[in-house]
């Protein structure tokens, strides 16, 4: 009977439950559990299995630039990174409130890594995250306009709990990309959160976006009440490269 039950669990794709039931049978622990204890154990196992699969799927779909985590962030180095503030962000209340985070600083200082760490952590809490390089996103949206699937992608972005736009402002935004950015920000304003990383100070984003009226509208929705992190210090990428070179020489 137990083998039949195990096979039915697998056919129903209760993978966590079937593994827990099999382990219990192999350890001859069935008789030591009351019926309600056994049911609770099997339900917990299936719950954990499905939650882990959902987290893995969210992380895989997000396609982060770095496999980063909050625990791996370096707070010892003086780069204006407040550990208490980051730990508050890790609670993801900013996502619940539909708030934005703007991360600026020179190249190599760890902006993308920080954004990826926050995004990864959001995935573990069950949030859907869309990570993209800004230039690549605009190029993709231009191609999607050509084949008629632009609105579908914009709708998909709108549904994400957290959007991460990496390397914003590396090059000026043309008219078509400006319209796409407005569509994205307008759809998400007040409802979903966005993290933007940029080498360009927020004060100069108006020039990057161009066209005064459109820039005013985008920045009003994006920057107003946003959390702003300005990182400083020397390039961590360069620092780690020098450290690795020294280790090789040793």
Task: Break the chain into its structural domains and give their ranges.
Answer: 2-61, 64-240
In the chain, what is the straight-line distance between the N-terminal and C-terminal CA atoms, in Å? 64
Residue with tokens 């690549």, as numbered in its chain = 136
Asked if pLDDT for residue 32 goes beyond 90, the answer is: no
pTM of the predicted structure, to 2 decimals: 0.80
For residue 246, the model assigns a pLDDT of 52
- What tens digit of pLDDT does each residue of 188-214 get? 998 999 999 999 999 999 999 988 999
The contacts of residue 126 (CB under 8 Å, 6+ apart) are 51, 54, 55, 58
Reference 67, options 55, 59, 77, 75; nearest CA is: 59
For residue 198, the model assigns a pLDDT of 96
What is the percentage of the chain residues whose pLDDT exceeds 90?
A: 56
Domain 64-240 homologous superfamily, CATH: P-loop containing nucleotide triphosphate hydrolases (3.40.50.300)
For residue 166, the model assigns a pLDDT of 96
Cβ atoms of residues 37 and 65 within 8 Å: no
CA dist 164 and 102 (Å) reads 10
């Amino acid at each position: 009977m137990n083998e039949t039950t195990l096979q039915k669990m697998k056919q129903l794709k209760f993978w966590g439950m079937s593994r827990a039931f099999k382990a219990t049978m192999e350890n001859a622990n069935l008789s030591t559990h009351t019926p309600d204890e056994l049911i609770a154990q099997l339900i917990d196992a299936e719950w954990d299995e499905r939650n882990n699969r959902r987290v893995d799927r969210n992380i895989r779909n997000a396609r982060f630039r770095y496999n980063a985590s909050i625990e791996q962030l370096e707070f010892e180095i003086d780069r204006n990174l407040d550990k208490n503030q980051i730990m508050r962000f890790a609670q993801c209340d900013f996502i619940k409130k539909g708030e934005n985070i703007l991360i600026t600083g020179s190249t190599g200082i760890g902006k993308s890594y920080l954004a990826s760490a926050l995004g990864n952590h959001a995935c573990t809490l069950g949030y859907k995250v869309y990570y993209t390089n800004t230039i690549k996103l605009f190029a993709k949206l231009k191609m999607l306009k050509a084949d008629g699937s632009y609105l579908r992608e914009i709708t998909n972005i709108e549904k994400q709990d957290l959007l991460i736009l990496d390397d914003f402002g590396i090059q000026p935004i043309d008219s078509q990309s400006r319209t796409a950015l407005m569509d994205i920000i307008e759809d998400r304003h007040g409802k979903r959160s966005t993290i933007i990383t940029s080498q360009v100070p927020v004060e100069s984003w108006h020039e990057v976006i161009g066209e005064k009226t459109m820039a005013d509208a985008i920045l009003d929705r994006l920057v107003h009440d946003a959390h702003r992190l300005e990182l400083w210090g020397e390039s961590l990428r360069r620092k780690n490269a020098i450290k690795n070179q020294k280790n090789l020489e040793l």
